[in-house]
Amino acid sequence: MNAYIEKKILITGGLGFIGSNLARALVAQGAIVTLVDSLIPQYGGNPFNIEDIRDKVTVNVCDVRDSFAMAYLLQGKDYLFNLAGQTSHMDSMSDPQTDLDINATAQLSILEGCRKANPGIKIVFASTRQLYGKPDYLPVDETHPIRPVDVNGINKLAGEWYHLLYNNVYGIRACALRLTNTYGPCMRVKDARQTFLGIWVRLLLEGKPIKVFGDGLQLRDFNYVDDCVEALLLAGASEQANGKVYNLGSSEVFGLTALAKMMVNLGYGGTYELIPFPPERKAIDIGDYYSDFSLITQDLGWLPKVDLQAGLKRTVAYYQTHHAQYWTE
């Protein structure tokens, strides 16, 4: 892919998990990369995520809710990878207004900034499978009904549709990827705010039991972060993607107990235990989920390449080396 050589790229959420991995890939492809991140402590941003490329990117610590700063930063950019977000489903229920402000209102003002200052930009938005809610059928394709089960799902849906609207009405090229559970180096592992897999990695390395909620039979699919980054890059480079929504996913589907067993067999020791679902989590749980991602395969040629076992090995090895940068006792 040579679409990004010497192109000016803005990544919102660039110090976070997926944003930092994307930045690394873009730097390797010869892009000129600017990262925007608010570094709000409860969220996934961590300057260590870009330690190895620190001299090769421009970092702007700023909040995407600051429409004046964003309008300035958007000027002259060729691509926007719009990844900043409040990602915790639980936090979206306890503090719905903040979720609305970041995941919907700020998205609209970013798009207004593009319309006024840079309508030629191409945008890729990181959406989520959460907006489908509890699946009616599996695997879930893009035509599945949308029934978010939490505030985060509703606000991400609004954010996604603002992008599609600006594509359709104003011709500002934009598309959205509905990510499934993504994991890998640089994800937040301190707590369960970003993904349960994060806290599982921490518990494993601390020698504490991994806690599996409910009967442990819930099905999920997972993408290693490099595969997710590849999809973002393909979507950015493709004119065919404009105005479209694509599911990401994997054809490897695992129950959560099977996943926990795989983790304790990686060679780092560890155990797991089944515990009752905390009621506040059960209330927003989506049950079994896995994606039909054939549309993005057909349109953009994307297929996940890293299998779960290989991806988990790389992930746990990363945190074994770098855990001090991600949590303190």
Neighbours of 131 (CB within 10 A): 24
Task: Give bridge partners of residue 80 from the DSSP assignment.
Answer: 10, 123
Minimum CB separation of residue 95 from ligand NAD in Å reads 12
105 lies in the binding site for ligand NAD (CB under 6 A): no
Neighbours of 68 (CB within 10 A): 10
Contact 147, 133 (CB under 8 A): yes
Q: Is 291 helix (H, G, I), strand (E, B) or coil?
A: strand
Structure tokens at 144: 């599945």
122 lies in the binding site for ligand NAD (CB under 6 A): no
Minimum CB separation of residue 71 from ligand NAD in Å reads 14
181 lies in the binding site for ligand NAD (CB under 6 A): yes
Structure tokens at 129: 């499978």
Interatomic CA distance for residues 138 and 120, integer angstroms:
38
* Cα–Cα distances in angstroms (integers) from residue 96 to residues 16, 100, 101, in the given order: 21, 6, 9
From the number of C-beta atoms within 10 Å of its C-beta (0-12, 13-18, 19+), residue 229 rates as: buried
Find the Cα–Cα–Cα–Cα dihedral 58, 173, 171, 300, rounded to 10°.
170
189 lies in the binding site for ligand NAD (CB under 6 A): no
Interatomic CA distance for residues 10 and 1, integer angstroms:
18
Q: Which positions from 43 through 102 interact with ligand NAD, judged by CB under 6 A?
A: 43-45, 63-65, 83-87, 102
- DSSP E strand boundaries for the chain: 8-12, 32-37, 57-61, 79-82, 122-128, 174-179, 181-183, 210-213, 219-224, 245-247, 253-255, 272-275
Minimum CB separation of residue 280 from ligand NAD in Å reads 20
Residue closer to ligand NAD, measured from CB, 15 or 273: 15
Minimum CB separation of residue 207 from ligand NAD in Å reads 25
- The residues, ordered by sequence, that sit 6+ positions from 66 with a Cβ below 8 Å of its Cβ are none
Q: Which of 7, 13, 79, 306 binds ligand NAD (CB under 6 A)?
A: 13
179 lies in the binding site for ligand NAD (CB under 6 A): yes
Interatomic CA distance for residues 118 and 207, integer angstroms:
51
Type of residue found at 33: V
227 lies in the binding site for ligand NAD (CB under 6 A): no
Q: Which of 128, 167, 238, 247 binds ligand NAD (CB under 6 A)?
A: 128
Residue closer to ligand NAD, measured from CB, 238 or 291: 291
34 lies in the binding site for ligand NAD (CB under 6 A): no
155 lies in the binding site for ligand NAD (CB under 6 A): no
Residue closer to ligand NAD, measured from CB, 38 or 238: 38
- Total residues contacting ligand NAD by CB under 6 A comes to 33
111 lies in the binding site for ligand NAD (CB under 6 A): no
199 lies in the binding site for ligand NAD (CB under 6 A): no
Task: Give bridge partners of residue 176 from the DSSP assignment.
Answer: 125, 245
Minimum CB separation of residue 214 from ligand NAD in Å reads 20
Minimum CB separation of residue 225 from ligand NAD in Å reads 8
Q: Which of 33, 34, 37, 289 binds ligand NAD (CB under 6 A)?
A: 37
19 lies in the binding site for ligand NAD (CB under 6 A): yes
Residues that bind ligand NAD in the complex, under the rule CB under 6 A? 12-13, 15-19, 36-40, 43-45, 63-65, 83-87, 102, 126, 128, 156, 179, 181-182, 188, 194-195
